[in-house]
Amino acid sequence: MVHDLRFGRFLKLSALAAAGVVAMSACGGPNLGKENFARTTVPAAGDSAATSGPITDPAVAPAVLRDLLPCQFVDKTAMSPLGTTQGEATASSTQFDSCVAKATDPGGKEIRASVDVGGLVTFASDKTTGAVGGLPQVEVPDLGGGSGCVVSALTARNPAVGVSFRVDYTGGDACAAGRKLVATAVEKLHNNPQKYTPGPGTLLAVDPCTVLDPAAVDGVVKGGKPRPSGLHSCEWGLIPSVRVTMFPGVAPSEGDGWLKADVGTPSQAYAKQGSTGSSCQVKWQHRQWKEDHVEVVQLEYTNSDAQADKDDPCGKTVGLAKQLAGKLPAA
């Protein structure tokens, strides 16, 4: 199976954002008076610097966010103002920076909230609704017949990324719930947030946009410049393109089109050529993560304008993977 974590996450937010192009006033759900949390007001004129100016807050720098435990932003303390929590928050088994939790409001309606730390934020330029803790707040309601809302605190621009909450709340005000979670998260970001302690050699602290030499990329994607697509993923170019992703998952193995490849790593690497156009993926285990999961490195090359038999996609990908492997910390 192809592991395209960043793209799946981006599609989810993009679909929601596309629906939100219609009037935002419909975000308020029925029975608002029964909800136990307040709305965030539109910023006053003095907040214009926070909503449109540069983001320089050291508490939300990428290097800081990479170390943070995502579940702290949807744990019982964070979710309790929305209602009665249902069990513990559950960390993603395929992403370092995502977690989900559930609660039941006083009227018995379920609230499902997921947090994405450092992911892409869609429509940031025209959906900024205010400021929260000095950071721009972006709110994208789901007006396509759904009951969800994505509320984000921007942590960087160009590309726009942030700490985002996707809230699904049938019969309630998902945007108001999202604003409450964002406010709590930003406060926590400025007050000793909880961090991972995975030990030396982890991929968590690695900036994925620094692991490929420009000259090596230029030989595959002419003029390609690094463009972060999350805290643990980076892309170069459009057509053709190269993407590096680091994530927790099951140990890669041979089979289902994956073949052994030599990229100079202690753990065996595997490559798989795509079925359309010219594309290839190479991935390998970097180190142990938790329980039966490991830290995985994945490099993908895609060129929809070329044919595989004339482009040698796996040759290019394996070549770049060898250079990438040498830039990673020793496991």
Higher-pLDDT residue of 86, 9: 86
Q: Is there a contact between 127 and 112 (Cβ–Cβ < 8 Å)?
A: no
136 burial via Cβ count (<10 Å: 0-12, 13-18, 19+): buried
For the chain, list the domains and their CATH numbers: 5-189 (no CATH), 208-325 (3.40.1000)
Q: In this predicted model, what pLDDT tens digit does every residue of 16-35 receive, in sequence order?
A: 333 333 333 333 333 333 33
Cα separation, 311 vs 308, in Å, equals 5
| Residue 301 structure tokens | 């090359």
Report the distance separating Cα 300 and Cα 175, nearest Å.
36
Q: What mean pLDDT comes out for the span 169-197?
A: 96
pLDDT given for residue 48 in this prediction? 62
The fraction of the chain above a pLDDT of 70, given in percent, is 84
Q: What DSSP element (H or E) covers 317?
A: helix 313-325
Phi/psi for 3 (5° steps) reads -95, 100
Mean pLDDT, the chain, rounded, equals 86
pLDDT reported for residue 226: 96
Please give the biggest Cα pair distance in the chain. Answer: 64
Q: What is the pLDDT of residues 48-101, one digit of tens each?
A: 667 778 899 999 999 999 999 999 999 999 999 999 999 999 999 999 999 999
Beta strand 148-156 pairing with 110-120: unpaired
- 218: tokens are 């230029």
Q: Which amino acid is at 106?
A: P
**Which two tokens mark 235?**
């892309």
Res 32: pLDDT: 31
pLDDT at position 18: 38
Instruction: Could you list the beta-strand ranges (E) of 105-208.
Output: 110-120, 128-132, 135-141, 148-156, 161-168
Q: DSSP secondary structure string, 73-89? A: GSSHHHHGGGSEE-S--
Query: Is residue 304's pLDDT more than 60?
Result: yes
Do strands 294-303 and 98-104 pair parallel, antiparallel, or not at all (unpaired)? unpaired
Q: Flag whether pLDDT at 15 surpasses 60.
A: no
Distant-in-sequence, close-in-space partners of 228: CB < 8 Å, separation ≥ 6: 62, 159, 161, 208, 209, 234
What is the pLDDT at residue 11?
A: 36
pLDDT of residue 49: 63
pTM score, two decimals? 0.82
Q: Between residues 28 and 265, which one has the greater pLDDT?
A: 265
pLDDT of residue 47: 57
Contact 118, 231 (CB under 8 A): yes
Residues 237-272 as b or e (16 or more Cβ within 10 Å = b)? beebbbbbbbbbbebbeeeeebeebebebebebbbb
In this model, does residue 123 exceed pLDDT 90? no
Contact 182, 189 (CB under 8 A): no
- Distance (Å, whole) CA 88 – CA 162: 24
Q: What is the pLDDT of residue 146?
A: 77
Higher-pLDDT residue of 178, 4: 178
Strand partners, 241: 302
Contact residues for 258 (Cβ-Cβ < 8 A; gap 6+): 252, 270, 271, 272
Given a cut of 80, whether residue 202 has pLDDT beyond it is yes
